[in-house]
Amino acid sequence: MPLHPVRALIPLAAACLLLSGCGRQPADQVGAAVTAETGGIVSSGKGAGFAWTINFPALRPQWQALDTAIHDYADASKRELLQASAADDRGKDIDYTLDMTFSIARRTADFVSVTATGSSFTGGAHGMPIVASFNLDLSGNKLVTLSDLFSDPAPAFKALSDECRRQLEGRYAAKMHDDPGAMTPAQLAADAQSTKKWVEEGTAPTPANFAVFLIDGLDTRAIGVTVIFPPYQVASYADGPQQVEVPAKVFYDLLKPEYKDAFAIDTQARQLGAGVR
């Protein structure tokens, strides 16, 4: 059984014409290539006590760094599955499974963001969710982290942390107000305090807490980032992953000079927002 999935190919000659070229592309050319990117392949396998299925999107040939990254991630996930299924202490009479889908989640003039979602089950009460992202800087054909976007990452993470914390705490407060359930006022207060601590720890301004993100936009310049918090990081497993959209005005001044042209902001709104904070 092969451990490496077959690489995605674009089967149509017309698509090859659409996918030619590299680097940053004009916005009017981005939309024309969307249909060529909607195909993909499914890599799957099954053996004694394990099974895996991985869905890959069709990527442009010049996005080689992105293609390599998602296949490396998939291969590592399969190795973990196979190692767990071969362990002496593995659960008997139950299959270990890996189900994962890579999707093109965002596409701006300067970035492509791909998500990995799904679950891996290697014993226990339930499978472990898969939440990962890969962001490609088209101008240099290189993957970027949030730290890579900023001249000084520390204040940038502080700004992101403050905004995510503000939105999450407001979201949870509204949820409890609208549906308090059968909890007493004392129980509600205790739950609010517990949630606040959970959010504070999960949004602490560290690179690890903001490792999963998307660069938001549609074909033209980016308008912000979406931070994705996996289950357990800022909420319970039952609540699932939490997403927070952070507008570019929150961090624009902290971007490296070479990335400022890649983001669009409403200057007046940014100035007003800075005054409020």
Give pLDDT tens digits for 17-74: 222 333 333 322 222 223 334 458 999 999 989 999 999 999 999 999 999 999 999 9
71: which 2 tokens?
A: 């296949």
pLDDT at residue number 274: 45
Instruction: Tell me the average pLDDT across 215-221.
Output: 91
Question: Lowest mean pLDDT: which of 34-43, 71-80, 213-222?
Answer: 34-43
The pLDDT of residue 199 is above 60: yes
DSSP 85: H
pTM above 0.85, yes or no: no
Residues 6+ apart with CB under 8 A from 119: 97, 98, 99, 127, 128, 129, 130
Q: Is 85 or 185 the better-scoring residue by pLDDT? A: 85
Domain regions of the chain by residue span: 13-143, 148-276
Question: 13-143 has which CATH code?
Answer: 3.30.565.40
Contact 202, 167 (CB under 8 A): no
pLDDT at 195: 76
Mean pLDDT score of the chain: 81
> Residue 126: what pLDDT?
80
Are 81 and 98 spatial neighbours (Cβ–Cβ below 8 Å)?
A: yes
Place 191 in a pLDDT band, splitting at 50, 70 and 90: low
